[in-house]
Amino acid sequence: MTHRSYIVGAVLLAIGFATMAVGHFIGLFVAPREAMMGDVGRILYVHVPTAWGALLLYSGAFIAAIGSMWTGRRGWDAATTAMVEAGTVMTFLLLVQGSLWARPTWGTYWTWDPRLTTSAVLAAAFGVVLLLRRLIDQPARRAMATSVATIVAFVDVPIVYFSVKWWNSLHQPVSNLGSVDSPMMQPLLIAAIAIMFIGAGLSILRFRIELARLVAEEAAPDLPDMPDPLHLEGSDKPVQAEGSPS
Amino acid sequence: MTAPTPAPAPTATPGLPAARIAPPALINAEVADDSLAIVLREVLGGIVAVIRKDLLVEWRARAQIVALLGFAAVVLLLFSFAVGPDSVTLAAHAGGYLWLALLLASTLLLARSLQTEVESGALESLLLAPVRAPSIFYGKAVANTILLGLVSVVALPLDLAITGATVISPGPLLGILALGAAGIAAPGTFYAALTARVAGKQLLLPLLLFPLIVPALLAAVKSTTLTMTGDPMGQLPSWIALLVAFDLIYWSLCGLLFERVIET
């Protein structure tokens, strides 16, 4: 019965990759060359949708984190983790693409541009959430830490962006529906739709895996790292469940 | 402002509200205690008590705060060694060295402020005292701000002496030190509580804190440098405004979420 969401996730991923192929075909072979950057500018069709996708996934994770904190339900916790993870993957992709694009156009792999720096800070902030999650054994506390750290990191996004924007700026103006010429619009939109499908597919698959992991953990909490299954008299908790000895 | 006219009081007493409030007040005194003014007084009293307690703990173990000052001083020295004896470069980056030294020192201070509570189970006693969770957070955050401010006030002259920078506008600089210390202390205290019971906390706290603190660090370094090199473009107010905004956002957000962190 859990297989259905695996199939849904896989189908979404397949649609996403197929759409991506179409979008990139148009972007690479049909759309005109970018006036200033030439063929290098075609990375726009993968870079900009990746940025949108990452931001959407983080926004979804933020909402799921609030749900997780509010209700304490496993599903929200798994959803938060899934979307933070998928978003972090996209942010790392974004950084790599950005560097590849920056080298021929700006002459450097890295600059302290607001969006570039914000992406790096985002990758670090949300990556650490995943690390934090791995280090906490107790399910309730882990869910709490994940949701709280996700909320705090998400709130930081606009602040980081504006502070770095004031600090230094070089990035080309943000690409949106208004600033991109119409023949380049079509592949960009198709690629954006493709990224949404991929993001959703990855999140659903990851959500299902995380949920299965949480359920298994609840069914057999002593399995991973409980060398001594000793229970204290009158206490329903195993003695070492806290993981506190440092 | 309440100045009750004779009219509303009599109409209120025979009506529904009086009937609802009276019986619980007889059974359970705590229900009546939940009026806003009393809660506020309780929270504020708790904050003051926690600040006193934390500062007293630091005072009793003052060797540790001295060690922290020493740490900040050594970091400052190391920065100048790393950059070299070029006094122009050193003076130009004096603000950056100061804040990085403070930030590095802060992780030691922040981790300790909750570690002692968790290790001895004092946090549970504190909650049962009863001290409300926001009181614990704001009390600890204020105490950490004070201690960090203390470190910054000691580190500043050292920074100036080492780098040869001069302060043009000392008044704003003191304000920036306080705001920056507060900006580090609020999310720092929050994350220290979050990681206090996690195995790799010594590593996790800086990993969580440093990316988050980027805007505050930028604003603090920029504005500190402006008070040292002069501010011909009039940029200082906007950087201070950014610092204030960061402080406001994280002092309120962390205060809101802290209860969840500490009671889970």
Chain B, nearest residue to A168 by Cα? B218
Rounded distance between C-alpha atoms, residue A190 and residue A25, angstroms:
10
The shortest CB-CB distance from B194 to any of A148, A166, A246 is to A148
> How far are the Cα atoms of A193, B42, B255 from residue B193, in angstroms, in the given order?
41, 22, 12
Instruction: Look up residue A78 and give its two tokens.
Output: 């798994």
Q: Are B246 and B215 in contact (CB under 8 A)?
A: yes
Residues of A in contact with B199 (CB under 8 A): 135, 243, 246
| Minimum mean pLDDT range among A68-77, A143-152, B3-12, B43-52 | B3-12
Instruction: Look up residue A71 and give its two tokens.
Output: 């209700």
Rounded distance between C-alpha atoms, residue A94 and residue A126, angstroms:
14
Numbered residues of chain A with Cβ closer than 8 Å to any chain B Cβ: 69, 121, 124-125, 128, 131-132, 135-136, 140-141, 144-145, 148-149, 151-153, 155-156, 159-160, 162-164, 166-167, 242-244, 246
Instruction: Say whether B214 and A121 touch across the interface (CB within 8 A).
Output: yes
Q: Indicate whether A245 pLDDT > 80.
A: no
pLDDT-derived band at A168 (thresholds 50, 70, 90) equals: low
What is the b/e burial string over B16-25, where b = at least 16 CB atoms within 10 angstroms of the residue's CB?
eeeeeeeeee
The shortest CB-CB distance from A135 to any of B199, B212, B214 is to B199
Rounded distance between C-alpha atoms, residue A10 and residue B102, angstroms:
49
Instruction: Look up residue A232 and give its two tokens.
Output: 């204290």
Q: Indicate whether B101 pLDDT > 60.
A: yes
| Minimum mean pLDDT range among A232-246, B23-37, B113-127 | A232-246
φ, ψ (nearest 5 deg) of residue A97? -60, -40
Selected residue with higher pLDDT from B176 and B21: B176
Q: Indicate whether B9 pLDDT > 70.
A: no
Q: Are B114 and B228 in contact (CB under 8 A)?
A: no
Residues of A in contact with B204 (CB under 8 A): 128, 131-132, 135
Rounded distance between C-alpha atoms, residue A53 and residue A47, angstroms:
10
Q: Are A139 and A214 in contact (CB under 8 A)?
A: yes
Question: What DSSP designation does A109 have?
Answer: S
Mean pLDDT of chain B, nearest integer: 83
Instruction: Say whether A128 and B249 touch across the interface (CB within 8 A).
Output: no
Q: Indicate whether B247 pLDDT > 70.
A: yes
Rounded distance between C-alpha atoms, residue A218 and residue A203, angstroms:
22
Q: Are A154 and A103 in contact (CB under 8 A)?
A: no
Res A222: pLDDT: 63
Chain A, nearest residue to B238 by Cα? A166
Instruction: Say whether B201 and A162 touch across the interface (CB within 8 A).
Output: no
* Helix, strand, coil percentages for chain A (3-state, nearest 5): 75, 0, 25
SS3 B19: helix
Give me the count of residues in chain A: 246
Q: Indicate whether A37 pLDDT > 80.
A: no
- pLDDT tens digits along B17-69: 444 444 444 444 454 556 788 888 888 888 888 899 888 988 888 888 899 99
| Domain ranges (residues) in chain B | 1-34, 42-263
- How far apart are the two ends of chain B, measured CA to CA in Å? 41
Residues of A in contact with B118 (CB under 8 A): 244
Q: Residue by residue, what is the 3-state secondary structure of A24-52?
A: HHHHHHHCCCECCCEHHHHHHHHHHHHHH
Half-sphere exposure in the Cβ direction for B256 (13 Å, CA): 11
Rounded distance between C-alpha atoms, residue B219 and residue B72, angstroms:
20
Res B232: pLDDT: 74
The interaxial angle of helices B133-163 and B236-263, nearest 10 deg, is 140
Closest CA of chain B from A71, distance in Å: 12
Q: Indicate whether B246 pLDDT > 80.
A: yes
- State which H helix or E strand residue B152 sits in: helix B133-163
Instruction: Look up residue B262 and give its two tokens.
Output: 């500490």
* Beta-carbon contacts of residue A122 (< 8 Å; ≥ 6 apart): A54, A58, A91, A153, A157, A160
Instruction: Say whether A135 and B204 touch across the interface (CB within 8 A).
Output: yes
Say how far residue A48 (Cα) sits from the centre of its chain: 15
Residues of B in contact with A242 (CB under 8 A): 197
Half-sphere exposure in the Cβ direction for A117 (13 Å, CA): 24
Residues of B in contact with A149 (CB under 8 A): 194, 208
φ, ψ (nearest 5 deg) of residue A235? -115, 135
Q: Indicate whether B13 pLDDT > 90.
A: no
What number is the average pLDDT over the span B115-124? 82
| Domain ranges (residues) in chain A | 54-212
Q: Residue A238 pairs with which residues in a beta bridge?
A: A231
Numbered residues of chain B with Cβ closer than 8 Å to any chain A Cβ: 118, 187, 190, 194-195, 197-201, 204, 207-208, 210-212, 214-215, 218-219, 222, 238-239, 242, 245-246, 249-250, 253-254, 257, 260-261, 264
Rounded distance between C-alpha atoms, residue B246 and residue B263, angstroms:
26
Res A174: pLDDT: 57
Q: Are A195 and A40 in contact (CB under 8 A)?
A: no
Selected residue with higher pLDDT from B201 and B96: B96
Rounded distance between C-alpha atoms, residue B214 and residue A158, angstroms:
12
Burial class (CB in 10 A: 0-12, 13-18, 19+), A165: middle
Rounded distance between C-alpha atoms, residue A68 and residue A60, angstroms:
12
Instruction: Say whether B246 and A135 touch across the interface (CB within 8 A).
Output: no
Res A175: pLDDT: 60
| Mutate: best of A148, A154, A165, A240, partner B, most B CBs <10 A | A148
Instruction: Look up residue A141 and give its two tokens.
Output: 């506390």
Instruction: Say whether B245 and A159 touch across the interface (CB within 8 A).
Output: yes
Res A58: pLDDT: 93
Rounded distance between C-alpha atoms, residue B151 and residue B145, angstroms:
10
Tokens 């993870």 correspond to what residue? A85
Rounded distance between C-alpha atoms, residue B188 and residue B109, angstroms:
9
The interaxial angle of helices A114-135 and A44-71, nearest 10 deg, is 40
What is the b/e burial string over A27-36, where b = at least 16 CB atoms within 10 angstroms of the residue's CB?
beeebeebee
What number is the average pLDDT over the span A201-208? 90
Instruction: Look up residue A40 and give its two tokens.
Output: 């290098």
